[in-house]
Amino acid sequence: MTALVVAIDGPSGTGKSTISRRIAAEFGLAYLDTGAMYRAAAWWCVREGIDLADTAAVAAQVRELPLQIGTDPREPSFAVGGEDVSVVIRSTEISTMVSAVATNLDVRAQLQDRQRAAIAAEQRPDGFSGGRGIVAEGRDITTVVAPDAQVRILLLADEAARLARRARELHGTTDSAALEATRDQVVRRDADDSTVSNFTTAADGVLTVDTSTMTLEESVDTVRGIVTRALATIEEGAR
């Protein structure tokens, strides 16, 4: 069977990572969180004492980033130079810094090349998924990294829903203090990243799924249906 590539984009708080991992696990696919790659790059630069405002120095440092990626959707992992950074890159400190790296155009080009290589690796029989394919999620997977993916989805949700979801995830509550504490990680980061990537408007051929009023299960079910139909089409074409 043709290796399936599912590309999922969208802003923070749309359920992108959770949905992508669920879909990858259910269909026996590998999983790639491209946003974590930018987080790992930011962590690496900070640890090495690089000024994130120095775009040339950051790009040079990221060029040497010794990043190892685990694509098991049940236990995705990221290591830098053999050191597991899966947890530390999710810290508030890195969250406030990552946009400085993610908006560096040289860095984006470098990491996009690595993302394409990771996707290609999971289309070979020796990849984690045995060559069946991968779910890759991020900001510009549907348009720049994997524009030829058989399934391309843009997940959207209104700002209130996105803030509430991220506040619940980070603080366990959606009271006003939690929402305000979360705003920088959702609204400001998306605004910064939107200067270098369009992840709020679907390109031609990209399906939009608005999860604003959906439960997680409803969102997963909607995406599952899209992937199932794509697989049926692929299998029909192979006959």
Residues forming a β-bridge with 207: 153
Query: What tens digit of pLDDT does each residue of 116-152 get?
Result: 999 999 999 999 999 999 999 999 999 999 999 999 9
CB 109 within 8 A of CB 53: no
Which among 56, 58, 39, 38 is positioned nearest to 48, based on CA atoms? 58
Average pLDDT of span 39-66:
97
15 labeled part of a ligand binding site: yes
The structure tokens 């200067």 sit at: 195
Q: Which helix (H) or strand (E) holds 151?
A: strand 151-156
Residue 53 burial by CB count (10 A; 0-12/13-18/19+): exposed, middle or buried? exposed
> Using 50, 70 and 90 to split pLDDT, how confident is the model at 209?
very high
Average pLDDT of span 87-101:
93
Judged against a pLDDT cut of 80, whether residue 236 lies above it is answered with no
35 labeled part of a ligand binding site: no
Reported CATH class of domain 4-234: alpha beta
18 labeled part of a ligand binding site: yes
Judged against a pLDDT cut of 70, whether residue 153 lies above it is answered with yes
- pTM here is 0.93
Q: How far apart (Å, rounded) are the C-alpha atoms in residues 92 and 89? A: 9
> Using 50, 70 and 90 to split pLDDT, how confident is the model at 198?
confident
C-beta neighbour count of 194 within 10 angstroms = 14
CB 133 within 8 A of CB 126: no
Domain ranges in the chain? 4-234
CB 34 within 8 A of CB 137: yes
Distant-in-sequence, close-in-space partners of 37: CB < 8 Å, separation ≥ 6: 67, 69, 78, 111, 114, 115
CB 140 within 8 A of CB 199: yes
12 labeled part of a ligand binding site: yes
Judged against a pLDDT cut of 80, whether residue 154 lies above it is answered with yes
Max distance between CA atoms of the chain, in angstroms, equals 57
The structure tokens 């524009």 sit at: 147
Average pLDDT of span 225-229:
96
13 labeled part of a ligand binding site: yes
> Using 50, 70 and 90 to split pLDDT, how confident is the model at 227?
very high
DSSP designation for 66: -
129 labeled part of a ligand binding site: no
Judged against a pLDDT cut of 90, whether residue 208 lies above it is answered with yes
Distance of alpha carbon 13 from its chain centroid, rounded? 12
> Using 50, 70 and 90 to split pLDDT, how confident is the model at 1?
low
Q: How far apart (Å, rounded) are the C-alpha atoms in residues 112 and 161? A: 29
Judged against a pLDDT cut of 70, whether residue 110 lies above it is answered with yes
16 labeled part of a ligand binding site: yes
Q: How many residues does the chain have?
A: 239
Backbone angles phi, psi at 125, to 5 degrees: -60, -25
Distant-in-sequence, close-in-space partners of 149: CB < 8 Å, separation ≥ 6: 5, 6, 7, 136, 141, 142
Question: Can you tell me whether residue 37 is helix, strand or coil?
Answer: helix
Average pLDDT of span 2-22:
94
Query: What tens digit of pLDDT does each residue of 168-177 get?
Result: 877 788 777 7
17 labeled part of a ligand binding site: yes
